[in-house]
A = this chain, B = another copy of it.
Amino acid sequence: MIVIMRSHAPEEQIQAVMDRVVELGFKPHRSSGEERTIIGIIGDERSLQETMFEIMDGVERVVRVLKPFKLSSRDFHPEDTVIPINGCRIGAEKVIVIAGPCSVESRDQIFEAAEVFKECGGHILRAGAFKPRTSPYSFRGLGEKGLCLLAEVKSTFGLAIVTEVMAPEQVPMVAGVADILQIGARNMQNYNLLEAVGRTDRPVLLKRGMMSTMEELLMSAEYIMSSGNQQVMLCERGIRTFETYTRNTLDVSAVPVLKELTHLPVLVDPSHASGKAAWINPLSRAAVASGADGLLVEMHPHPEVALSDGGQQIAPLAFREMMADLRRVAEAVGRTL
């Protein structure tokens, strides 16, 4: 950590900062420039807060030297983490497409979706039983009944299941069916929930909050990992900006940046990012081209009657075409799909 003093800060203010550094068990390192004095703090800064010094008289700014995340950092774990699920290896050379309807709506619907997906070569099905919705008056999922249907689908089709868990007390129940526990964007900083899934042995798919920086995403991964669960995959799903044509703004740069910062697999959800079925294919191609390890796509057998998010679910025919397109793009960047 580096403390930058105000220009012409008097000696006693500089000394007070130096003393505080020592008091906290660190070693200060003073460097005086032409206009300002800078104090470096030697030691593991992760236990320090910028505000401890920002508040002192004469301090202009405090700058961190180390990244605040550790277990998720590539500095500490240089090799890619690969998560094996149902014959897939997420984070390895093959790009994994996870797809399925936004919500489980009925036995017929989820079976039809699973059948289509299986035919397209899918291995991991996504579908929500518990749905976080902005409005309490919207369809909020079938809940436990939805989970039971997912269990049936799983045994019938041999597909692995990704589904969202919304509260700590739901974790055991959801983990009884799900192969991957999904943490939704709105819960990215629900720390009690992060710790609850961190205490299971189920891989976790952690979605970036619509308002969250990449660093905060990694800090949330850190919560799960420091609770004991190292099998975390990250998912970029669009962030909120001033642009209104799209539901969110897909931050495709997050793919190469996260791949540099962390060893965890990085997925992209083009459905929530765009909010419109017609844009899912080009955004998926962009994600694969930029180096994503996988996709999380909303696909519904009959989007026009979907109970939630109909507009952003791709229909089976378009999904099949997209898979063919993505295969070519994956090969163009030296991967398979």
**Chain A interface (Cβ < 8 Å from any Cβ of B):** 2, 4, 7, 29, 31, 33-36, 38, 40, 42-44, 46-47, 49-52, 54-56, 63, 65-66, 68, 70, 75, 132-138, 140, 166-170, 186-187, 189-193, 209-216, 219, 222-223, 226-227, 239-246, 249-257, 260-261, 273-274, 276-279, 282-283, 285-291, 303-304, 306, 308-312, 325, 328-329, 331-333
Contacts and interface: CB of A to CB of B under 8 A. Distances in A.
Given A51-B309, A56-B304, A285-B333, A134 B187 contact: no
A98 to B, nearest CB: 19
A310 B52 contact: yes
A47 B214 CA distance: 31
Contacts of A283: 252-253, 256, 290
Nearest to A186: B189
A interface, by DSSP: helix, strand, loop or mixed? Answer: mixed
A170 B169 CA distance: 11
B239 A256 contact: no
A215 to B, nearest CB: 7
A242 B242 contact: yes
Given A31-B40, A246-B253, A325-B333, A167 B192 contact: yes
Nearest to A56: B304
A240 B243 contact: no
A136 B36 contact: no
Contacts of A66: 35-36
